[in-house]
Amino acid sequence: MKKLLLILLGLGVALHAGTIDRFIDAARAQVGVTKTYDPAYRRIKYPGGDIPLSRGVCTDVVVRALRGVGIDMQQRIYTHKKRHPSLYKGLYYTDRLDPNIDHRRVKNLQAYFAARGYRVRDRFRPGDIVVWKLPGSRLDHIGICSDRLNRKGEPLIIHNVGAGAKEEDVLRAYHIVDHFRLFRR
């Protein structure tokens, strides 16, 4: 019985590790494909809607990578905001539900991740999600920690800050305001 329990625990760790790898791979697959930064409002299907893969913003990198592991943030944000509107109140100019755009807003993703208990305050690991304030503006930004590291041993970031999806050494380039870990190793 003890052996079976150890095998099952090991399998659980391996499954989570595999999920992190698939999540990062799904983010990286957007590099060179999503070439245009496009914050335009568009009507999209619900659930599972997306704008054309060649276009997007920083949140689209995260949303698409999560879809790569079977998580539909469009549906989750819509459902969560409907059940817990006070967590989203005042984050944007309107509080109404909108499945076309709600999941494409940094503060909505941040509110959802925080409410789910994903916030962490330790070193950055592959698969972590980071939120920044961009310099010289009040704009929020979000990206994913890669499994590729810089010379200091910190993860590169997969994100779209205006020139399409990229994998770059920018973890400390902007003011970090939040840090989430959805998957545990």
Domain ranges of the chain: 2-180
**In this structure, what DSSP letter does residue 167 have?**
E
Closest CA to 171 of 130, 128, 110, 116: 130
Q: What is the pLDDT of residue 130?
A: 98
Q: What would the DSSP string read from start to end of 127-160?
A: T-EEEEEPTTS--EEEEEEEEEE-TTSPEEEEE-
Q: What pLDDT shows up at residue 184?
A: 86
* CATH architecture label of 2-180: Alpha-Beta Complex (3.90)
Q: Is the dihedral of CA 115, 143, 124, 71 positive or negative?
A: positive
DSSP reduced 3-state for 3: helix
Q: What is the pLDDT of residue 8?
A: 32
SS3 8: helix
Helix (H, G, I), strand (E, B) or coil at 36: strand
Q: What is the predicted pLDDT for the residue at 17?
A: 61
Enumerate long-range contacts of 152-157, CB under 8 Å, 24 or more apart. 154/124, 155/124, 155/125, 155/126, 155/128, 157/130
pLDDT tens-place string over residues 22-39: 999 999 999 999 999 999
Q: Which residues does the chain have with pLDDT short of 50?
A: 1-15
Per-residue confidence (pLDDT) for residue 185, from 0 to 100: 73
Q: Which candidate, 136, 114, 132, 121, places its Cα nearest to that of 168?
A: 132
Please count the CA atoms within 13 angstroms of the CA of 125 that sit on its side-chain side. 15
19 close to 182: Cβ distance less than 8 angstroms: no
Structure pTM?
Answer: 0.90
